[in-house]
Amino acid sequence: MAEIKRQYVNYLFLKLDPAWRRLPATEQEEGKKEFTAAVESFGSNCLVVPYSTVGIRAEVDIMLWRISYDLETLQEMMVKIYASGLGKYLNTVYSYLAMTKRSVYVDKHSHPGQESKRLTVVPGEAKYLFIYPFVKTREWYLLTKAARQGMMSEHIEIGHKYPTVKINTGYSFGLDDAEFVVAFESDFPSDFLDLVMELREAEASRYTLLDTPIFTCVRKSLKDTLEDLGG
C-alpha cells in the first residue's frame, strides 16, 4: 500500500519596520513586487494563503498560512522573502510549525468534510482565520483513553453546534514548542467567540495548559495584504 504523505503546516507572522514607510514610493513598489515574486515562485510546491493583521494585533502585520510536503520549501521561500526589497524590512515575530495527522478521537463522530480524518489541509474561502498554539497538561495524557474519549466527544459535539466555524488542527509534538496549532475559519467572528465561550465550560478545558497568543487574521489577496502596510 502506498504511503500517505502528510503535510507541513506553517503560520508565519511578520512585522514591518516603520522605516520602510519612509522609503521613496518607487522603492516601496519594487520591494512589494520582489516579495510577491518570491512567494509566487513556490506556487507548485507550497500553498500560501495571505492574511492581514494590520490594526488588529499590535506586534504583527502579515500572516502567511503556508502548506507544503517538505520543510525545505518553507525555508527556501523565507530566504527569498528576506532577500526581497520589502523582506529587508520584515521581522518574523512568530512562526508556528505543525503537521497533519488523523485524530484518534473521531471514530464515533462523522460528518461530511470532517477535518480530523484528513491528512491534506484544504483552506476554504472564509474571510477570517483565528489561530493559536495549544498545549494540554501532562495529567491529560495520564488519563485512560476512555476518559479522554468521553471528554473529547463532548468537545466535538459542541463544535458541531457551530457549522459556520471550520477547524484545522495541526500537530506539533516534537516539532515546535506547542503540541497543537489550531486555526478556525469563519465568516462570523461572533460565532467563533460563542464557540470558544461554550468550550470553556466543557470538561476537557480543565486540562488546557496554554492556548495563547490568539490571532485574528483577515483574508486578503497578497496584493491587498501588502497594500495594508501603508507607505
CA distances from 203 to 117, 163, 181, 206, 220 (A): 23, 21, 20, 6, 37
Residue 76 contacts by C-beta under 8 Å, 6 or more apart in sequence? 42
pLDDT digits (tens, 9 = 90+) for 192-215: 999 999 999 999 999 999 999 999
> What does the pLDDT look like over 24-76, one tens digit per residue?
999 999 999 999 999 999 999 999 999 999 999 999 999 999 999 999 999 99
The grid coordinates of residue 63 equal: 500572516
CB 156, CB 109: distance < 8 Å? yes
CATH number listed for the domain at residues 103-216: 3.30.70.1030
Condensed to tens digits (0 to 9), the pLDDT of residues 73-127 reads 999 999 999 999 999 999 999 999 999 998 887 754 444 444 445 688 999 999 9
Cell numbers linked to 133 = 498554539
Q: Give start-end residues of each CATH 3.30.70.1030 domain in the chain.
A: 8-98, 103-216
Return the percentage of the chain with pLDDT > 70, whole number: 93
Q: What is the amino acid identity at position 206?
A: R
CB 48 within 8 A of CB 98: no
Task: Name which of 89, 101, 109, 103 is nearest 28 in CA terms.
Answer: 89
* The listed CATH number (3.40.50.720, 3.20.190.10, 3.40.605.10, 3.30.70.1030) that belongs to domain 8-98: 3.30.70.1030
